[in-house]
Amino acid sequence: ANLVLSLSEHNSDLLPIHGKFHIYVYYADAHFYLGKYKQAEALYKKALQFHKCLVKSKGGTKPLEGQKDLPTDVDIKFQIHLCLIKLKNSLEALQVLQSIPGKQRTPKVNMALAKMCQEQGMKRTAITTYKEVLRECPLALEAAEGLLSLGVKGIEVNSLIVGYASTLSNLDWLNTWIKAHAHIHNREYTHAVSTLRSLDNVNLLRDNFNLLTTMGECYYYAGDDKNALLCLRRARIIEPDVMKGVDIYAAVLYKNHHIKELERLIPIITASNECTGEIYVAMAYSLYAARKFSRVNTLTAQALNLNPNDIEATILRGNILIEQKKYQEALFFFRHAVELKPYRYEPHKGLVDCLVGMHRLREALNIASGSCKQLGHTARVLTLYASVLMKDPVSVGKAKNLLEKALLQDEVYLPAVYLLAEIYEQEMNLEAAIALLERQVEIQSTCKLHQMLGDLWARVHNEEKALDHYALALNLDPSNRRAVEGMHRLDNSSNKLDSAYYMTVGEALTCTTYDVGDGLPDTDNDEAPDESETEAVWSDMDLEANSQ
């Protein structure tokens, strides 16, 4: 293309006018698809200028010979906008789209314009433009979801679609889809899941990738990681090569401790050599599980470079910085996350964790209390608030009440179970703590539940049950240090007691050949070190356990 254009500059008869214009567009397209967006933008602008001159030279009233299939000004401006988006010049890209006269805008142009107006906070213009998309394309679900995300009522959106698509039939599923997304944008995730599940049947959208992904995300936002995993796993089986939602899938695998499955996911998603934020975040979670924090920081930085508002990358970056005890830096990311998605739980928890780590408990309490008002009194939000209240002995009673309320909402919410058992233990109400944990073990078996039960049974001197629970904990997680230390404490205690018993029997037998006074001082001196050594072992183990 470069050579042909150079030749045509010196020989005007080499190419017809519309042919030269085609060359400019092809040349720009080539640069665009090679990722050379700056050069592509410049060539598209040249093509645009050339096209204007071309139209003027022919009076602009009828197309030239062979010109009917030429790209229009609208097509070229749309490509210029794409170049500017890639160059992270969103404001100029918006101006380019706005320069297209309203009557000439295609649904594709209006959709792009509506999204950009929404990103720039131009709510009213975005709503008007989304409605224009639906007027021409009644089944443009992305436009419908855009309207719902901007606060337009589901009934109004549904009426727009039904009004514009009155000639179409069998749209009952569409009404349900819109109703579900209205629940999603109202943060009513439980209702959204119930509505979406009604579509997951053989007569409607059974095994639809988008449906399963949306359901999985709703479960995730509601804090139900187990059901989120089931839905997202089904979606991955159906469409293993689609990257939508893979970042949340990786996060759920990490939270559910399915590390092997997370490791197997990475070669699949990197085989296509795509570079998207979702892929970077999924890879980062795999490295996070391997505790390779510096590489995780690199990958999250790459994701944020592609999209500074990537919420999953922002949350993960903040959590990594907390792990590295860089609380001040983590605060920046979590505050940004709250600005992006104030209805998400993870940014609020991140802020609380940062402030607790910095010993700013009053601020942490304010954030946790505010989370209850903003996110609702759900089990995990109440537990977050209680976890901060527990830091102050004066407010432990209030924390206990909140945890009991959390378990009334969700009796199997383990973070609340762990904290409530800890409070019972502090109150020396060991029977209540044991009863609470035993109920949970009947429902779900986790390493921490068995380890805590082992500790509690050891405290009430039931070594047999303590050993059983430590063994179960180590079967689930052989690297659990608390369970290993608990077993060592019991073993050491048992060995010392056995040693003391045999020494006492031996001394009683030998004492029969001596006077009563003979050997008593020696016996006292022999037993004293054994008792102090046993106490030392226990105290050392307790110190180590408490330091964990």
Note whether residue 527 is domain-resident: no
Does residue 327 sit in the same domain as residue 370? no
- Cα gap 498→476, rounded to integer Å: 30
What does the DSSP 8-state code read for residue 72?
Answer: P
The whole-number pLDDT of residue 56 equals 66
Domain shared by 271 and 332, yes or no: yes
- Do 427 and 433 form a contact (C-beta atoms < 8 A)? no
Q: Are residues 452 and 386 in the same domain?
A: no
Residues 6+ apart with CB under 8 A from 143: 111, 114, 130, 131, 133, 134, 137
Tally of structural domains, the chain: 3
Residues 303 and 368 in one domain: no
312 and 275, same structural domain? Answer: yes
Q: How far apart are CA 322 and CA 296, in angstroms?
A: 13
313 within domain boundaries = yes
DSSP state of 392: S
Q: Using CA atoms, how far apart are residues 268 and 241, in angstroms rounded to an integer?
A: 8
Domain membership flag for residue 28: no
pLDDT tens, per residue, the chain with 548 residues: 566 665 566 566 656 666 677 788 888 999 999 999 999 999 999 888 877 777 666 554 455 455 556 778 899 999 999 999 999 899 999 999 999 998 999 999 999 999 999 988 899 999 999 999 998 888 899 999 999 999 899 888 888 887 766 666 677 788 889 999 999 999 999 999 999 999 988 777 888 999 999 999 999 999 999 999 999 999 999 998 888 999 999 999 999 989 999 999 999 888 877 888 999 999 999 999 999 999 999 999 999 998 999 999 999 999 999 999 999 999 999 999 999 999 999 999 999 999 999 999 999 999 999 999 999 899 999 999 999 999 988 999 999 999 999 999 999 999 999 999 999 999 999 999 999 999 999 998 889 999 999 999 988 888 888 889 989 989 988 888 888 888 888 877 765 544 443 444 444 333 433 333 333 333 333 333 343 332 333 333 343 334 44
For residues 256 and 352, state if they share a domain: yes
Q: Do both 350 and 250 map to the same domain? A: yes
- Same domain assignment for residues 250 and 331: yes
Indicate whether 174 belongs to any domain.
no
In a domain, 369, yes or no: yes
Give pLDDT, residue 512.
39
**Does any domain span residue 304?**
yes
| Assigned domain for 324 exists | yes
CA distance linking residue 220 with residue 248, whole number of Å: 8
**Which of 113, 118, 92 minimizes the C-alpha distance to 38?**
92
Domain boundary among 495, 516, 539: 495
Reading phi first (left if > 0) and then psi (alpha if -120 to 50, else beta), residue 110 is in alpha
pLDDT at position 530 is 40
- Between CA 378 and CA 223 the distance in angstroms is 10
Count the Cβ atoms, other than its own, within 10 Å of residue 349. 22
Q: Which domain holds residue 331?
A: 243-337+346-357
Whether 454 and 372 share a structural domain: no
CB-based burial of residue 101 (10 Å sphere; 0-12 exposed, 13-18 middle, 19+ buried)? exposed
CATH number assigned to the domain comprising residue 319 = 1.25.40.10
Closest CA to 216 of 203, 239, 201, 232: 232
Q: Are 495 and 463 in contact (CB under 8 A)?
A: no
Distance CA 105, CA 136 (A): 11
Tell me the C-alpha distance between 371 and 338, whole Å: 11
Give yes or no: residues 324 and 249 share one domain: yes
| Domain-terminating residue out of 405, 427, 449 | 427
Examine residue 467 and state whether it is found in any structural domain, yes or no: yes
The answer to whether 302 touches 335, Cβ cutoff 8 Å, is no
Same domain, 402 and 461: no
Q: What is the pLDDT, as a whole number, of residue 24? A: 81
Same domain, 277 and 369: no
Q: State the DSSP string of 269-321.
A: HHTT----HHHHHHHHHHHHHTT-HHHHHHHHHHHHHH-TT-HHHHHHHHHHH
